[in-house]
């Protein structure tokens, strides 16, 4: 058994050796990010990572923040909440970051929140669900619009078209489920009646049975599809296939040009709530967001060769809010940074104009959303929204 003891010793040494590999950097401000770059949420994490890298480089090229360069440390949790928590612990304990911008999904964000709260490090989340900021946690903020806001915006548009009885068809993925729950909660307060609900799996290839059930409910005046990924594209195609006469609303989760490509001709007339980023070129020149979204779109497209997505935009906003807070605080102290993030006022970003407060760690209101309609294979801004 000497062999085994020898082996155990080797294993121990190897284990320790492996763990002592780490980054060593001097006099840089360390910002951490745990994103779902690979895995089922790579749709979110991939553009977020690219955005953060592009802009950290740009900021550093211009001299950094408060005279110091930024060091971005990105870890990929592959969509697993468990991994996210491990990497969050690593960022806090090992890399000793001063702030964190990340958390692509609600699940990973919720799993990481406690770590940053316990360590007193500000955490700007890039996930959608409202539980991240309601109830307000001292150290947790977020940049994307909540799914509750998306529902409210859609319902407001429905009311303006005198459509009050709707059907919901949602994906069973986290995004779809969360938004569906919010829509169900918000509906009675806005006078919308949900006559029938159906759902589908995120990788299903045909939703015609569910849509047939919806079509058979005569009182339905519009259909809302909370969902994300490829599901909404297929729902939209099936919608046209079945020849629905009533309008279809998508969620902000599909806000990318790719949706129009995938859904094809079926996307005509579909409406959805979206941030100004999607219609950068169609904004009136008086819109304060126009220069910001145009610059971001151009930079992102040039550096990655891909069209912008709102998820990347949320990462941009998160980073900029953090950087501006650091500049106002004139320090890299986590507590001072947190206080300044909370004092963000009038920040013009890709998602809207942000005004945070001690009770509002998101800072967006319904005006941050516009209602878009797809026309001629492109986005069109519905006037007055």
Partner 1 sequence: MRALLQTRLMPAIAVAVLVTILPLSFSSAYYYRIGVLVFIFALAVVGLNLLMGFAGQVSLGHAGFLGIGAYSVAIGPVHLGAPSWLCLFGGAVLSGAIAFLVGRPILRLKGHYLAVATLGLGLLLATVLTNEARWTGGPDGMSVPGLKLFGWSVRGATAWYWIAGATFVCGFVLAFNLMESPTGRALQAIHDSEIAALVLGIDVARKKLAIFVISAVYASVAGSFLALFNGYITPDAAGFLRSIELVAMVVLGGMGSIVGSLVGAIVLVVLPQVLTIFHDYEQALLGLVVMVFMIFLRRGIVPSIAAAFAGRR
Partner 2 sequence: MAELLQFVSSGLTVGAIYALVALGFTLIYKASDIINFAQGEFVMLGGMTTVFATLAGVPLPLAALIAVVVTTAIGFALHRFAIEPARGASPVALIMITIGASIFLRGVAQIIFDRRFHSLPPLLGADPIRFGGAAILPQSLVVLAGATVIVTLLWLFIDRTLLGKAVIATAANRLAARLTGIDTRRVVDFSFAVSAAIGAVAGILITPIALTSYDAGTLLALKGFAAAMLGGIGSAAGAVIGGLLIGLIEAFAAGYLSSNYKDAVAFLIILVVLISIPQGLFGRAKVERV
Q: How many residues make contact with partner 1 (CB under 8 A)? A: 42
Q: What angle do CA 75, 77, 82 make, to 5 degrees?
A: 125
- Min dist CB 340 to partner 1, Å, is 28
**Contact range with partner 1 by CB under 8 A, out of 88-96, 243-251, 291-299, 350-358:** 88-96
Contact 150, 251 (CB under 8 A): yes
Binding-site partner at residue 208 among partner 2, partner 1, none, CB < 5 to 8 Å by type? partner 2
188: part of which helix (H) or strand (E)? none
Query: d(Cα 32, Cα 17) in Å, to the nearest integer?
Result: 24
Among 230, 239, 167, which Cα is nearest to 199's? 167
Identify the DSSP state of 244: -
Mutual orientation of helices 310-329 and 334-342 as an angle, nearest 10°? Answer: 120
CB-nearer residue toward partner 1: 75 or 369 = 75
* Distance from C-alpha of 266 to C-alpha of 269, rounded to nearest angstrom: 8
Q: Which two tokens stand for residue 114?
A: 């406690």
Residue 243 contacts which entry, partner 1, partner 2, none (Cβ below 5-8 A, type-dependent): partner 2
Tokens of 209: 């049975």
Q: Going residue by residue from 96 to 125, which x/- string records binding to partner 1, judged by CB under 8 A?
A: ----------xx--xx--x-----------
The correct pick among 15, 57, 264, 345 for binding partner 1 (CB under 8 A) is: 15
Q: Of 7, 217, 265, 333, which one interacts with partner 1 (CB under 8 A)?
A: 7
Residue in the block written with tokens 């169609």:
282
State the binding partner of 27 from partner 1, partner 2, none, CB within 5 to 8 A by kind.
none
Partner from partner 2, partner 1, none binding residue 114, C-beta < 5-8 Å depending on class: partner 1
Q: Which residues lie closer than 8 Å to 332 by C-beta, 6 or more apart?
A: 29, 66, 68, 98, 326
DSSP SS3 for 330: coil
Phi, psi at 90, each rounded to 5° = -65, -45
Binding window for partner 1 (CB under 8 A); candidates: 5-13, 138-146, 276-284, 304-312: 5-13
Query: How far is the CA of 346 from the CAs of 66, 337, 357, 369, in angstroms?
Result: 21, 17, 12, 16
Among 30, 70, 72, 75, binds partner 1 (CB under 8 A): 75
The whole-angstrom separation of Cα 165 and Cα 226 is 16
Contacted by 234, from partner 2, partner 1, none: CB < 5 to 8 Å by type: partner 2
How many Cβ atoms are within 10 Å of 262's Cβ, its own excluded?
17
Report helix angle 174-186 to 147-160, nearest 10.
Answer: 50
Work out whether 89 is an interface residue with partner 1 (CB under 8 A).
yes
CB of 132 to partner 1, least distance (A): 11
| Interface ranges with partner 2 (CB under 8 A) | 38, 40, 42-43, 46, 172, 198-201, 203-210, 212-213, 216, 229-230, 233-234, 237, 240-243, 258, 261-262, 264-265
- The binder of 21, among partner 2, partner 1, none, by C-beta within 5 to 8 A per type, is partner 1
Which lies closer to partner 1 via its Cβ, residue 37 or residue 280? 37
Q: Footprint of partner 1 on this chain (CB under 8 A)?
A: 1, 3-8, 11-12, 15-16, 18-19, 21, 37-38, 75-76, 78-83, 85-86, 89-90, 92-94, 106-107, 110-111, 114, 129, 172-174, 177-178
């Amino acid at each position: 058994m000497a062999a085994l003891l020898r082996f155990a010793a080797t294993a121990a040494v190897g284990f320790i050796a492996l763990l002592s590999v780490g980054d060593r950097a001097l006099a840089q401000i360390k910002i951490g990010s745990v994103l779902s770059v690979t895995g089922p949420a790579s749709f979110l994490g991939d553009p977020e990572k690219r955005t953060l890298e592009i802009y950290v480089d740009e900021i550093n090229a211009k001299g950094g923040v408060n005279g110091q360069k930024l060091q971005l440390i990105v870890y990929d949790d592959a969509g697993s909440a468990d991994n996210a928590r491990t990497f969050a612990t690593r960022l806090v304990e090992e890399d000793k970051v001063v702030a964190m911008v990340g958390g692509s999904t609600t699940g990973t964000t919720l799993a990481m929140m406690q770590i940053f709260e316990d360590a007193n490090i500000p955490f700007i989340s890039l996930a959608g669900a409202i539980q991240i900021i309601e109830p307000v946690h001292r150290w947790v903020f977020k940049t994307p619009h909540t799914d509750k806001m998306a529902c409210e915006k859609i319902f407001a548009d429905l009311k303006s078209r005198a459509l009050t009885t709707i059907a919901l068809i949602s994906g069973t993925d986290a995004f779809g489920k969360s938004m569906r729950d919010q829509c169900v909660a918000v509906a009675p307060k806005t006078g919308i009646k949900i006559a029938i609900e159906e759902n589908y799996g995120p990788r299903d290839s045909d939703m015609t049975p569910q849509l047939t059930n919806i079509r058979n409910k005569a009182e339905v005046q519009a259909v809302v599809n909370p969902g994300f990924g490829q599901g909404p594209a297929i729902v939209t195609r099936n919608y046209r296939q079945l020849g629905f006469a009533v309008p279809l609303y998508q969620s902000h989760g599909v806000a990318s040009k790719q949706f129009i490509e995938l859904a094809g001709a079926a996307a005509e007339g579909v409406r959805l709530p979206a941030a100004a980023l999607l219609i950068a070129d169609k904004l009136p020149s008086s819109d304060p967001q126009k220069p910001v979204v145009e610059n971001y779109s151009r930079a992102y497209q040039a550096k990655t060769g891909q069209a912008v997505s709102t998820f990347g935009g949320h990462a941009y906003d998160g980073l900029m809010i953090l950087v501006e807070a650091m500049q106002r605080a004139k320090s890299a102290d986590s507590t001072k940074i947190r206080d300044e993030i909370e004092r963000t006022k009038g920040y013009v970003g890709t998602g809207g104009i942000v005004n945070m407060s001690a009770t509002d760690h998101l800072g967006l209101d319904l005006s941050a959303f516009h209602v878009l309609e797809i026309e001629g294979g492109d986005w069109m801004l519905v006037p007055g929204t």
